[in-house]
Amino acid sequence: MKIIKRSGTEVAFDVRKIVNAIRKANAEVSEDNRLSDEQISRIAEKVTALAKDLNRAVNVEEIQDFVENQIMAERAFAVARKYITYRYTRTLVRNSNTTDAQILSLIECNNEEVKQENSNKNPTVNSVQRDYMAGEVSKDLTRRILLPRDVVEAHDEGLIHFHDADYFAQHMHNCDLVNLEDMLQNGTVISGTLIEKPHSFSTACNIATQIIAQVASSQYGGQSITLTHLAPFVQVSREKIAREVREELSGVTGVSEELIAEITEKRLRGEIRKGIQMIQYQVVTLLTTNGQAPFVTVFMYLNEARNEREKQDLALIIEETLRQRIQGVKNESGVWITPAFPKLIYVLEEDNIREGTKYWYLTQLSAKCTAKRMVPDYISEKKMLEYKVDKNGEGHCYTCMGCRSFLTPYVDENGKPKYYGRFNQGVVTINLVDVALSSGGDVEKFWKIFDERLELCYRALMCRHNRLKGTLSDAAPILWQYGALARLKKGEPIDKLLYGGYSTISLGYAGLYECTKYMTGKSHTDEEAKPFALSVMQYMNDKCKGWKAKENIDFSLYGTPLESTTYKFAKALQKRFGVIKGVTDKNYITNSYHVHVSEEIDAFTKLKFESDFQQLSPGGAISYVEVPNMQDNIPAVLSVMQFIYDNIMYAELNTKSDYCQVCGYDGEIRIVEEDGKLLWECPHCHNRDQSKMNVARRTCGYIGTQYWNQGRTQEIQDRVLHL
């Protein structure tokens, strides 16, 4: 059994330390108030059993809570007081400097919690460590100076989660839709260098990757680009190549225009191949100042094209993008594997959703890509046009900003819809499970506590907003001055972009399943329990609407893609309420509105059920179905995609894509348990060295490739197939 120290270092559990601590407190009280040796042994045994029952590495604070409770259970109150006083004194000493041990442990790669915080960051790399070091300093400043004490305490207790505190000290925002069209068509500036409009498709792709890297280093969330903004440069290259071909063949007699066009298109395909390859490999290999590859999403939407010529060129780009992703990228051993980025989103439309439609071949290719590489994910144009309706009553289809965060519809001063160049200010998430458990199952008390917690979230969100307020455009020129988000003047505040719906700010939520389970005794998939779950969702939407009217800020409800926080919330719930069957007996809580990962339900029923909740999560939502290896059953993948088109706005299929570098096994790497800890193991050669295997799993919308904490690993282990 493992223990996580306060510094984050993981060590072996040693019961003797518990015994010694109790004996020290015991020695400081009068003899008639002391515990006997038998009682001390009993306490130590009980604490050991409680720790083992959690089936995960336990932190020191939890162990000390167990010790306190067991001393009091023996009615040795004088000893308990001495023990509590000692803990308090040590806490005061530690709080005099909260960051040194954390930083030193992560530099030496001993900090287990930090190592497993982000499944796309390698904590052994210097650039990642530098980012984490800065993050520890930011968190310390945030806790001590920048946030109100009640918000910090609620975050620590797991009542809410104040996201990205490691970046809060700086004036940075969450995620955005990059206005690549403006930057490519009108020029931009990168690192003080003027970049003019490109004269070929491959150059446009090269500039796009530089923009992506710069944007990623200026904010902390995900970003999205659309291939539509690259499509006009296909025609630029076509005309350029045609001129070159004509020059080459100028002395040759009998050359027809058809031959020139044929040669041009062949070379153009090579140009497109080169450009897309550049994007894929640059994104995978880039390391931003955050110490990771950019969290970038690439959007593929045929109907976004402005004319038929551009649409056909966009189809060429989409086709090449899918073909290259199917191939994958080579790992250090030269084996083709699944990359985490860029994430791909493919829009299902009337002219690509059924056999016989013009672009059906792209949908078939997309299905093959999903079966092999887990992407693209799918947006239904049909459902999105229903859900995303602007003030003029018109529906719109557009990409999310990151893995699931959607902007709300917006019409500019000219009456035109605008999405690219907009952003999200940040997220605060409410733990719905804690609201339910705090109420003790009393419905009236539940809504009262819910109100109090939502008010706390509102104040925390206003802290995020006010931290951005007054930020000068000079803080991130690529974003605010050179077109990624705006063209503000030097020295101009970004404030006007924070109001009126131009940007959003997100109330996140997690654990709707467990909340409903505790309050009703049933899963929210049960017809008797579903109305309660929907009422919780509606209540949060109503709160966002009220805050928006009050502040002129676009508050929006967001289905939080918890990664490490799912484990944090679970531990906090177990500490506050103990282990409650079906509610807190896992080391994770369920993301957003999702059906519990262990619940037996078929893919179509799950998607149809979750569509009702997705509609009530306008600030961000995604649904998924867990499927086996589908590479030999593409018609089944296509059937799911067609169901998505008719029934739900945004969904994905989760497959597996693994490789063992020791024996060459390319099936599913399994999760096994040893000494209370979950480990990844090759079922063929039993290799457990994570540096010698490639495992890709979707954990919160993005694909993760650097492994996960124990809570998320258990969640992955518990997943059942839906197809």
Copy the structure tokens of residue 596. 């519990």
Q: How far apart are CA 278 and CA 653, in angstroms?
A: 27
Q: Give, as one character, the DSSP assignment of residue 306.
A: S
Instruction: Select which of 200, 206, 237, 424 is catalytic.
Output: 424
Contact 357, 367 (CB under 8 A): no
Closest CA to 70 of 62, 80, 82, 58: 80
Closest CA to 124 of 698, 690, 721: 690
Contact 23, 40 (CB under 8 A): yes
Amino acid at 241: I
What are 3's strand-pairing partners?
11, 58
* List of residues 6+ apart from 307 with CB closer than 8 A: none
Q: Would you call 392 a catalytic residue per the annotation? A: no
Contact 133, 139 (CB under 8 A): no
Q: Would you call 300 a catalytic residue per the annotation? A: no
- CA-to-CA dists, residue 56 to 531, 585, 675, angstroms: 34, 12, 9
3-state secondary structure of 68: helix
Q: How far apart are CA 689 and CA 615, in angstroms?
A: 42
The phi, psi pair for 701, rounded to 5°, reads: 110, -50
Closest CA to 131 of 150, 141, 118: 118
Give ∠ CA 666-669-674 in degrees, rounded to 5: 150
Instruction: Select which of 158, 701, 704, 711 is catalytic.
Output: 701
Q: Would you call 552 a catalytic residue per the annotation? A: no
Q: Would you call 138 a catalytic residue per the annotation? A: no
The phi, psi pair for 178, rounded to 5°, reads: -75, 130
The distance in angstroms from the start CA to the end CA of the chain is 36
E strands, 518-594, in order: 554-559
Instruction: Select which of 175, 369, 400, 682 is catalytic.
Output: 175
Q: Would you call 352 a catalytic residue per the annotation? A: no
Q: Would you call 174 a catalytic residue per the annotation? A: yes
Closest CA to 362 of 227, 486, 196, 487: 227
Q: How far apart are CA 430 and CA 423, in angstroms?
A: 21
Amino acid at 216: A
Instruction: Select which of 403, 457, 519, 630 is catalytic.
Output: 403
Centroid of chain to Cα 475:
25
Q: Would you call 701 a catalytic residue per the annotation? A: yes
Q: Would you call 205 a catalytic residue per the annotation? A: no
Instruction: Select which of 206, 237, 405, 564 is catalytic.
Output: 405
3-state secondary structure of 446: helix
Instruction: Select which of 518, 558, 567, 588 is catalytic.
Output: 558
Copy the structure tokens of residue 59. 């932190």
Instruction: Select which of 138, 174, 591, 694 is catalytic.
Output: 174
Rg of the chain over Cα atoms, rounded to whole angstroms, equals: 27
Closest CA to 223 of 179, 281, 293, 175: 175
Q: Would you call 564 a catalytic residue per the annotation? A: no
Contact 509, 540 (CB under 8 A): yes
Contact 507, 525 (CB under 8 A): no
The phi, psi pair for 677, rounded to 5°, reads: -120, 140
- CA-to-CA dists, residue 26 to 31, 95, 188, angstroms: 9, 26, 70
Hey, how many other C-beta atoms are within 10 angstroms of the C-beta on 547? 21
Contact 622, 379 (CB under 8 A): no
Instruction: Select which of 117, 563, 610, 652 is catalytic.
Output: 563
Quickly list DSSP for 216-245: HTT-SS-EEEEGGGTTHHHHHHHHHHHHHH
The phi, psi pair for 579, rounded to 5°, reads: -95, 115
Copy the structure tokens of residue 201. 């498709």
Cα atoms in the Cβ-side hemisphere of radius 13 Å centred on 97: 5
Tell me which residues are annotated as active site: 174-175, 401, 403, 405, 424, 558, 563, 701
